């Protein structure tokens, strides 16, 4: 392989082998080979701290919350609400009331669409989304279009995968009531200028919902500094459990929004004639919540803060730089989709003569886990002229040696297919 000066690469400012030891799954073998896990944009692996916190809850505390006077219920309630406080700290929300637990970023976006959207939008109002959105930030607005007659306008991208800000500014008129946009593209790795996007939207009276699912595992997020109106993310992409996520909303907005789902825990008083609702945040948390998952997510947030998101981001960018150079040097016919300056540690690519699905299946036989397909981002891939790509995405526990194994696996697969 091409010789690269390892000393010129920024090494992680933490003990990466000690960190890898915190992840039990990284010790296993797949198809007889040591696991090289490069599918972190889909879901990240979980450290022992998260696994043990959830196990401890089920072993020692398991009970429903907010509804019981007995000891276990009180302990479970305390642990659940402590987790809410950890997530408040993690994104610097002004109040714990602004942290709504959901099943993930998808449910959080749907909540905003069906609560805020149905209460505040009308026929002819516009919602702006970008070309690079995940389906979860497209389909809810299309459903609202069918229900209310709103219009959806799409911000295009430039050739390198970055957002076309000039067109954004042209589209941003007084008809726009909401800009719903990703902070980091899961398919391309492009990082959008969210602060500028929010300011320009606010200048014309529009609100902004930010999909931060691909941002929070890799960079510090301060929702107050951003001035985001809504901010959503999922636990499983930030070293936390599946089935749990967060909707952040400014307290005044959440207070004015009607409940989305009805049931237990979101009520104050229920009669057959009338129901009154609980205050924030419980108004939007109907039914028994994912208690263990919330606790695990709180631990994951602490784990990330303790590690230092700046350290993590610096190492991931070194991995991205090294992998990009090695792939370009060693793989004729390679095309990387998304080469925006400052992109996140995601490489979405096609290889001439090899279908993405074949790349995924065959690299798996060599112990390398990558993602293939449309990445729930069909519009942007079709815009770039492909139906599917292979995607490698990096996390804090990945190493330069794993990049070498990955590139060698791709070379071997390419030789098999050609």
**Would you say 191 and 344 are in contact if contact means Cβ atoms under 8 Å apart?**
yes
pLDDT attached to residue 9: 62
Q: Is residue 226 part of a domain?
A: yes
**How far apart are the C-alpha atoms of 99 and 347, rounded to whole Å?**
32
Peptide bond into 226 cis (omega under 30): no
Burial class (CB in 10 A: 0-12, 13-18, 19+), 418: exposed
Enumerate the β-bridge partners of residue 34: 29
Cα 219 to Cα 279: distance, rounded to the nearest angstrom: 31
Has residue 293 been placed in a domain? yes
Contact (CB, 8 A) for 78 and 70: no
Residue owning tokens 């602490």: 302
Tokens of 28: 């296993």
pLDDT along the chain (418 residues), means of 10: 49 94 97 98 98 98 92 97 98 98 98 98 98 98 98 98 98 98 98 98 98 97 98 98 98 97 91 94 96 98 97 96 97 96 97 93 97 95 95 98 98 88
Cross-strand pairs, 102? 245
Asked whether residue 93 is assigned to any structural domain, the reply reads yes
Q: Does any domain span residue 45?
A: no
Residue 128: which of 221, 226, 200, 216 has the closest Cα? 200
What's the number of domains the chain is made of?
Answer: 2
130 shares a domain with 180: yes
Last residue of a domain, one of 246, 278, 306: 306
Q: Which residue, 271, 306, 341, sits at the end of a domain? A: 306
Q: What CATH number does residue 122 fall under?
A: 3.40.640.10
Q: Is residue 216 part of a domain?
A: yes
Is residue 386 domain-resident?
yes
Same domain, residue pair 324 and 410:
yes
Q: Are residues 204 and 70 in the same domain?
A: yes
Query: Buried b vs exposed e over 123-141: b needs ≥16 C-beta within 10 Å?
Result: eebbbbbbbbbbebbbbbb
Same domain, 316 and 222: no
Residue 326 and residue 392 in one domain: yes
Residues 239 and 167 in one domain: yes
Helix (H) or strand (E) holding 182: strand 176-182
Final residue in a domain of this structure, among 285, 306, 327: 306
Does one domain contain both 286 and 395? no
CATH number at residue 366: 3.90.1150.10
The catalytically annotated residue of 72, 376, 378, 386 is 376
Q: Copy the structure tokens of residue 329.
A: 């040097």
Q: Which residue has the tokens 């998952």?
A: 293
Q: Among residues 186, 211, 195, which one has the least CA distance to residue 108?
A: 211
What is the pLDDT at residue 8?
A: 44
| 281 preceded by a cis bond (ω within 30 of 0) | yes
The verdict on 188 and 287 lying in the same domain is yes
Nearest-Å Rg of the Cα atoms of the chain is: 22
Asked, for residue 383, whether it belongs to a domain, the answer is yes
Domain membership of residue 162 (yes or no) is yes
Pick from 222, 223, 155, 224: nearest CA to 190: 155
Nearest CA to 374 out of 129, 134, 38 is that of 134
Q: Are 157 and 23 part of one and the same domain?
A: no
Q: What local confidence, expressed as pLDDT, does residue 2 receive? A: 44
Catalytic status, residue 376: yes
What domain range is 369 assigned to?
Answer: 6-30+308-417
Q: Are residues 232 and 366 in the same domain?
A: no
Query: Residue 18 phi/psi, 5° resolution?
Result: -65, -40
Same domain assignment for residues 195 and 243: yes
Residues 223, 344 within the same domain: no
Query: What crossing angle do the helices spanning 48-60 and 291-307 adopt, rounded to 10°?
Result: 150
Tokens at residue 141, please?
A: 């607005």
Tell me if 41 sits within 8 A of 237, measured CB to CB.
Answer: yes
Those residues with Cβ within 8 angstroms of residue 401's Cβ, 6 or more apart along the chain or in another chain: none
170 CB-contact burial (10 Å; exposed 0-12 / middle 13-18 / buried 19+): exposed
């Amino acid at each position: 392989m091409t010789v690269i000066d390892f000393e010129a690469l920024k090494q992680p400012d933490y003990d990466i082998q000690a960190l890898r030891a915190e992840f039990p799954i990284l010790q296993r073998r797949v198809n007889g080979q040591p696991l090289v896990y490069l599918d972190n944009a889909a879901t990240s692996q979980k450290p022992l701290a998260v696994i043990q916190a959830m196990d401890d809850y089920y072993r020692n505390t398991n009970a429903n919350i907010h509804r019981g006077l007995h000891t276990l219920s009180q302990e479970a309630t305390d642990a659940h609400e402590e987790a809410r406080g950890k997530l408040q700290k993690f994104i610097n929300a002004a109040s714990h009331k602004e942290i709504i637990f959901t099943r993930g970023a998808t449910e959080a976006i749907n909540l905003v669409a069906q609560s805020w959207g149905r209460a505040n939008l009308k026929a002819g109002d516009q919602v702006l989304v970008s070309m690079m959105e995940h389906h979860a930030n497209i389909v809810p607005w299309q459903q609202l279009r069918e229900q209310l007659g709103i219009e959806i306008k799409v911000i295009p991208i430039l050739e390198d995968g970055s957002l076309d800000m000039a067109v954004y500014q042209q589209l941003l008129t007084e008809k726009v009531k909401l800009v719903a946009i990703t902070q980091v593209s899961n398919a391309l790795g492009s990082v959008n200028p969210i602060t500028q996007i929010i300011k320009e939207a606010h200048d014309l009276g529009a609100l902004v919902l930010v999909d931060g699912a691909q941002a929070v595992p890799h960079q510090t997020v301060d929702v107050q500094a951003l001035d985001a109106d809504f901010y959503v993310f999922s636990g499983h992409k930030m070293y936390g459990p599946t089935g749990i996520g967060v909707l952040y909303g400014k307290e005044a907005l959440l207070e004015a929004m009607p409940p989305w789902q009805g049931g237990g825990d979101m009520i104050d008083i229920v009669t057959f004639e009338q129901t009154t609702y609980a205050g924030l945040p419980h108004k939007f948390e109907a039914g028994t919540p994912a208690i263990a998952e919330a606790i695990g997510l709180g631990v994951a947030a602490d784990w990330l803060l303790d590690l230092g998101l700046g350290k993590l981001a610096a190492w991931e960018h070194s991995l991205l730089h090294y992998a990009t150079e090695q792939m370009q040097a060693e793989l004729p016919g390679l095309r990387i989709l998304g080469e925006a300056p400052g992109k996140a540690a995601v490489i979405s690519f096609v290889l001439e003569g090899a279908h993405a699905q074949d790349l995924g299946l065959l690299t798996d036989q060599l112990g390398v886990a990558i993602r293939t397909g449309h990445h729930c981002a069909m519009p942007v891939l079709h815009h770039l002229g492909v139906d599917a790509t292979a995607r490698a995405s990096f996390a804090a526990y990945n190493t330069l040696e794993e990049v070498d194994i990955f590139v060698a696996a791709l070379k071997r697969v390419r030789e098999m297919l050609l």
